[in-house]
Amino acid sequence: MENGALSGITVIDLTRVLAGPYCSMMLADMGADVIKVEVPGKGDDSRSHYPQINGESAYYMNLNRNKRSMTLNLKSEEGKAILRGLVKKADVILENYRPGVMEKLGLGYEDLKKINPGIIYGCVSGFGHYGPYSQRPGYDIIGQAMGGLMSTTGWPGGDPTRSGTAMSDVMGGISLAVGVLSAYINKQRTGEGQLVDVALVDSIVSSLEIINQIYLVTGRIPSRIGNRYEASYPYDSFRTKDGMLVIGAGNDKLFHLLCELMGQPALEEDPRFLTNITRVEHHAALKPIIEDWLAGYDTETAVQMILDAGVPAGPIYNIDQVTRDPHIAGAREMFVEIEHPVAGKLKITGNQIKLSETPVHYERPAPLLGQHTTEILKEFLGLDETAVRELAEKKVL
């Protein structure tokens, strides 16, 4: 992408499945040339993930748009030599192998910075590259479990619950993107690259913000509280005549406006609801009062009334409603259509970052396995088709 914010940056992407590909997807959407290096004959594990369209994984196609794919056997000496050749001309390399794997191959950060002192080596793993758990395997559900998210997700009395999506992978991917871009900016000043080490569990711990602080400050272990927020109230989900909505009255002014709308100004003088702190403490008494009022209205009407009064509120959408919303799907373009050579036309999830001068583009559908191998080897290493064919015959590619 010639006019992208990250145009001119070359990323060698060895990552698979979600956290690493999410990071490289963001970089590719913003213009970086992302070269996805995959295992010959198999490719990224997510190529076999559900759901499939004409034998192509929608999971893979969403996370790997705007990238080029080449295959490379990193267990062969020729494959390692090719990767080193790519690294010489690259700005960033990304990997999400278990710590130590790349070092055993002679392709760790200390090895590659000898070839390219400015290389930014981004790695994401379950527990990071140092510490007593560094050699443990890491998946999203483990990050959610050990980072504390599952213990605080769900309803009182229920079991710890995994978030509906892979939040530790997504948070890990975003964290890696931020770290890599920070290292790249530093490289512009110093000329030196560095190692960016991101752990899934660390990313979840960081995301828990107020949950951690409650324990650190008060000694109370936060538990599962449903949709309520620990820091303010009413900030929760509430039942209406025909469904549910959420209200985010996060300060005294907003609570005042809500009370006026409900026709119950006396609530503001009730000692239980006088301040945000007391409302949090007496949330169980306040919620049924709000729900008794909402019982007279359908969700759509209630949301509009509350918004018109100046109080944040919204319906609880299912995914079908999200994809049809005129703001989210329409104006904000959070679902975009692409044409894939095998799967045909399909919609993928758009990029959440909106740049005024260098907007993201979706110029390439996710690549077929090894689709750009010859192109990349010609471009970066000057190999001709005969040399590429010989490497393929040796199963290097």
DSSP line for 26-70: HHHHTT-EEEEEE-TTT--GGGGPSSEETTEEHHHHHHTTTEEEE
Full residue range of the structural domain in which residue 265 is found: 235-317
What letter would DSSP give residue 123? E
169 is an active site residue:
yes
Q: How far apart are CA 383 and CA 375, in angstroms?
A: 9
200-212: buried (b, 16+ CB within 10 Å) or exposed (e) per residue?
Answer: bbbbbbebbeebe
* Strand 52-53 relative to strand 56-57, pairing: antiparallel
Q: In angstroms, what is the C-alpha Rg of the chain?
A: 25
Cβ proximity of 21 and 59 under 8 Å: no
User: What is residue 3's predicted lDDT score, i.e. its pLDDT?
Assistant: 83
Asked if omega into 156 is within 30° of 0 (cis), the reply is no
Torsion angle in degrees (nearest 10) through CA of 299, 301, 303, 304: 160
Tokens of 83: 């990767």
Residue where the block lists tokens 């409603």: 321
Residue where the block lists tokens 């590619």: 397
Q: How far apart are CA 49 and CA 168, in angstroms?
A: 19
Q: Which amino acid is at 100?
A: G
Q: Which amino acid is at 355?
A: L
Q: How far apart are CA 308 and CA 302, in angstroms?
A: 10
Tokens of 390: 């010989």
Assess whether 136 and 36 both reside in one domain: yes
Domain with 285 in it: what CATH number? 3.30.1540.10
From the number of C-beta atoms within 10 Å of its C-beta (0-12, 13-18, 19+), residue 358 rates as middle
Assess whether 80 and 189 both reside in one domain: yes
Assess whether 116 and 239 both reside in one domain: no
Catalytic residue among 13, 91, 140, 169: 169
Assess whether 375 and 297 both reside in one domain: no
Assess whether 308 and 341 both reside in one domain: no
Assess whether 264 and 308 both reside in one domain: yes
Torsion angle in degrees (nearest 10) through CA of 361, 365, 370, 372: -50
CB atoms within 10 A of CB 136: 15
pLDDT in tens, the chain (397 residues): 678 999 999 999 999 999 999 999 999 999 999 999 999 999 999 999 999 999 999 999 999 999 999 999 999 999 999 999 999 999 999 999 999 999 999 999 999 999 999 999 999 999 999 999 999 999 999 999 999 999 999 999 999 999 999 999 999 999 999 999 999 999 999 999 999 999 999 999 999 999 999 999 999 999 999 999 999 999 999 999 999 999 999 999 999 999 999 999 999 999 999 999 999 999 999 999 999 999 999 999 999 999 999 999 999 999 999 999 999 999 999 999 999 999 999 999 999 999 999 999 999 999 999 999 999 999 999 999 999 999 999 999 9
Q: How far apart are CA 360 and CA 346, in angstroms?
A: 18
Cβ proximity of 112 and 121 under 8 Å: yes
User: What is residue 1's predicted lDDT score, i.e. its pLDDT?
Assistant: 63
User: What is residue 240's predicted lDDT score, i.e. its pLDDT?
Assistant: 98
Assess whether 87 and 133 both reside in one domain: yes
Assess whether 242 and 104 both reside in one domain: no
Cα–Cα nearest to 71, from 342, 369, 364: 369
Q: Of 269, 284, 317, which marks where a domain is finished?
A: 317
User: What is residue 320's predicted lDDT score, i.e. its pLDDT?
Assistant: 97
Domain-located, residue 220: no
Domain-located, residue 215: no
All residues at 6 or more sequence positions from 217 whose CB lies less than 8 Å from its CB, including other chains: none
Q: How far apart are CA 188 and CA 205, in angstroms?
A: 31
DSSP alpha helices (H): ranges in 132-251?
Answer: 140-147, 167-190, 200-207, 210-218
Residue where the block lists tokens 């040339």: 33
Assess whether 257 and 295 both reside in one domain: yes
Domain with 368 in it: what CATH number? 3.40.50.10540
Assess whether 244 and 190 both reside in one domain: no
Q: How far apart are CA 92 and CA 85, in angstroms?
A: 13
Tokens of 301: 């009407």
Residue where the block lists tokens 């007496």: 282
Q: In what helix (H) or strand (E) does residue 350 lie, and over which residues does it extend?
A: none
Cβ proximity of 94 and 12 under 8 Å: yes
Q: Of 317, 351, 372, which marks where a domain is finished?
A: 317
Domain-located, residue 296: yes
Asked if omega into 117 is within 30° of 0 (cis), the reply is no
Give the number of C-alpha atoms closer than 13 A to the C-alpha of residue 73, restricted to the C-beta side: 13
Tokens of 119: 């290389």
Domain-located, residue 212: no
Assess whether 173 and 255 both reside in one domain: no
Question: Taking the mean position of all CA atoms in its chain, how far away is CA 233?
Answer: 28
Cβ proximity of 171 and 98 under 8 Å: no
Assess whether 339 and 264 both reside in one domain: no
In total, how many domains does the chain have? 2
* Strand 244-248 relative to strand 235-239, pairing: antiparallel
